Amino acid sequence: MFLLGNKFYIIFISLWIFGLYAIFTTFHSTPTNNDKALEDRIEYLQSEVESLQQKLSQLQSGNNINVKAQVENNDVQCQELREELKRVKRKLASKTNCRTGSQNGPALEYEQLRRKIETQTRELSYFTIDQLYKINEKLSDDDKAKWSKVIARFSDQNRVLLASIRNLTEVDGYQSWREQEHESLSKLMQARLNSLQNPSKPCGEVQRVSCNINKGCGYGCEIHHAMHCFHIAYALGRPMILFSDGWRYNPGGFDQIFQTLSKNCTTALAAGGAAWGRYETADVVEVPLIDNIHPKKDFMPMAIPEDLSERLIRLHGNPFVWFTGQLMKYLLRPQPWLTELLEKKYSDIKFETPIVGIHVRRTDKVGSEAAFHDVSEYMKYVEDYYIIYQYQNPNLKFKKRVYLATDEPSVFKDARAKYADYIFYGDTAVAQSAQLNSRYGTESLKGVLLDIHFLSLTDYLVCTFSSQICRVAYEVMQQRVVDGAWRVQPLDDVYYFGGQNAHNQRAFMSNKANWPNEFSFERGDIIGTEGNHWDGFSKGSDKTSGQTGLYPSYKTEEIVNIAMMYTYPEVKIKTDEL
């Protein structure tokens, strides 16, 4: 039999979620009628919907097969028009809000609270589901059947709540500002990077840094090494010169795959670079591996530039990931042949949305850097995403698509056999080329680049952050989506940058330990986090008291590392250019 305490526990949680849901579903904005183009589109769509509805009424009395097919076709068209009508109305509301008092965008506190509510809701789900399953293990078979219904109901209510939270950005009137701010900051960053890499003076007359991509590890690892160098180059205002001859992925070098980083700063101007210890004075400094820099400087990953920090923190839930995505946008500009390859593949596979990306890493990672995760562990979160997406768009019909990237070809067969109601994109030949005996070389590199590209184009990622490929895809994704920090579900680690400075969080409320291995802390304490267990608890240590162990994830918030970096005063962008 269920314990009385367990019943009250479930009732309390359900009422709490219902209360939040009621609050969010009443949160809306009222558009005004000032945008002529959007108003005309709304009027047209409304008339089309009414016309189709009249046709449907006339046709529904018919019984022959052709008439029924026409009814079905018109019904689909009607639904599509209704969905477009909703989107146009939301866009009009957002634009109107921007003109009538929201030109400066939402308050920082509003954006932080909106993101915090999503994070807290997910943490509540991790904790509650984990505890419910633990209780389930101790029940009789009869009670397990009843308890499974409780778990299912809680999970469903949680999804409804997340759908409401994610729809906030569609109705709060600020989405146009977010899109414009994303584009504005991106254009500013790319202008700065172009200026950095192509100085107005002869390159030999400016201080510069050199970096060798040949770290002797996998593609994601070597790209992150180059990113570490590029991050330092940006912070110091020194152009980066990249050495890549004999690169294991393409012996001809980096520039055969991606566009050259500079028109006038060549490797000949970076010979004989000084050791890192002279980075403040030497003309040319060689950037070592991030793990070999001691002590680390505050401007190193995961820091963001101080002069952009306020804008980045308001724009994005993980400002460093957005900043890194912009560095990658410049670093990994494809050569024309690679652009053609990506576009052809996009057309060949008929890539469509909505779509979720999963990256299943096996081979060398399992047992050394990561645990084995069955396909079902990934697909659980894929299914959650699609249920939430349907709740966000109740009248929309769609196919459930997954882009599957893996280094184990058998995963495709396993996934398609177990989840027949999904459409799986992906290429077993690419998976085969990622095997250990064929991983290094230009053909294998093409497969890796295709996988990263399409993973970054998905709406949501499910992967292991212990994999650098997963982290690269997540970083590249941020170039395209607005505030996409939430668009990932890792199965193991939290996001990190290898060799980073300390990853700290701040306790915004005190905690009294009452769970095994849990430690107490006070409001304001700095917690060094070592990872999220995705069960309501994270592992870490209190920098104030020195205690280590587990702590409730929902009582802490991320500390964004902000550092003084070069401010690029020579880069001027007019407002109308943004």
pLDDT single digits (tens) 137-190 = 999 999 999 999 999 999 999 999 999 999 999 999 999 999 999 999 999 999
Beta strands 561-563 and 303-305 are parallel
Does 217 fall in a domain? yes
**Cα dist from 521 to 517, 530, 560, whole Å:** 13, 16, 20
pLDDT at position 260:
97
Number of domains forming the structure of the chain? 4
User: What domain range includes position 261?
Assistant: 181-326
Mean pLDDT of the region 47-59: 65
- 204 inside domain: yes
Per-residue b/e over 378-395, b at no fewer than 16 CB within 10 Å?
Answer: bbebbbbbbbbbbbbbee
> How many C-beta atoms surround the C-beta of residue 145 within 10 A?
10
User: Do 105 and 158 sit in the same domain of this protein?
Assistant: yes
Largest distance between two CA atoms of the chain: 86
Q: Among residues of the chain, what percentage have pLDDT more than 90?
A: 74
Of 274, 301, 326, the residue at which a domain comes to its end is 326
Q: Report yes or no on 576 lying in a domain.
A: no
Residues 19 and 101 in one domain: yes
Q: Is residue 20's pLDDT more than 60?
A: no
Is 213 within the bounds of a domain?
yes
Kindly list the distances between the CA atom of residue 571 and the CA atoms of 30, 194, 264, 281, 392, in Å, as whole numbers in the listed order. 39, 10, 18, 24, 41
Statement to judge: residues 129 and 83 lie in one domain:
yes
Whether residue 209 has pLDDT greater than 50: yes
* Claim to verify: residue 431 and residue 469 sit in the same structural domain: yes
Nearest to 302 by CA among 574, 51, 502: 502
Sign of the torsion formed by the C-alpha atoms of 83, 86, 90 and 95 = positive
* pLDDT confidence tier of residue 372, bands split at 50, 70 and 90: confident
Q: Check whether 4 has a pLDDT greater than 60.
A: no
Does the pLDDT at position 86 exceed 90?
no
Q: How far apart are the first and last CA of the chain?
A: 64
Q: What is the DSSP letter of 533?
A: -
246 and 340 both lie in a single domain: no
Q: If you average pLDDT over every residue of the chain, what do you get?
A: 87
DSSP structure string for 376-427 = HHHHHHHHHHHHHHHHHSTT-----EEEEEES-THHHHHHHHH-TTSEEE--
Instruction: Tell whether 477 and 419 lie within a shared domain.
Output: yes
Same domain for 427 and 306, yes or no, is no
Asked if residue 451 is part of any domain, the answer here is yes
The alpha carbons of the chain give a radius of gyration, in whole angstroms, of 26
The predicted pLDDT at position 442 comes to 80
- Identify the CATH number of the domain in which residue 533 sits: 2.30.30.40
DSSP at 288: -
Phi-psi region of 276 (alpha: psi -120 to 50; beta: other; left: phi over 0): alpha
Q: What is the pLDDT of residue 170?
A: 92
Domain boundary among 145, 177, 209: 177
User: Which pLDDT score is estimated for 361?
Assistant: 87
| 99 and 215 fall within a common domain | no
Q: What is the mean pLDDT of residues 541-569?
A: 97
Residue 166 shares a structural domain with residue 305? no
pLDDT tens, position by position, 249-262: 999 999 999 999 99
Point out the domain boundary residue: 267, 292, 326: 326
- Residue 5 CB coordination number (10 Å): 8
Tokens of 426: 């992906």
Residues 466 and 518 occupy one common structural domain: no
What pLDDT does 31 receive?
A: 44
- Euclidean distance between CA atoms 83 and 291, whole angstroms: 51
pLDDT at 460 over 70: yes
pLDDT of residue 58: 62
- CA dist 138 and 576 (Å) reads 65
The verdict on residue 499 lying in a domain is no
In-domain check, residue 300: yes
Whole-model pTM: value is 0.84
Is the pLDDT score of 351 beyond 80?
Answer: yes
Are the beta carbons of 51 and 81 closer than 8 angstroms? no
Q: In CATH, what number is assigned to the domain containing residue 446?
A: 3.40.50.11350
Task: Tell me the mean pLDDT in the region 215-243.
Answer: 97
Interval 477-524: pLDDT, tens:
999 999 999 999 999 999 999 999 999 999 999 999 999 999 999 999
Same domain membership, residue 380 and residue 471: yes
Q: Is the pLDDT of residue 576 over 90?
A: no
Residue 544 shares a structural domain with residue 434: no
In a domain, 496, yes or no: no
CB 305 within 8 A of CB 565: yes
- 101 pLDDT above the threshold of 70: no
Scored b (16 or more CB within 10 A) or e, 498-526 reads: bbbbebbbebeeebeeeeeebbebeeebb
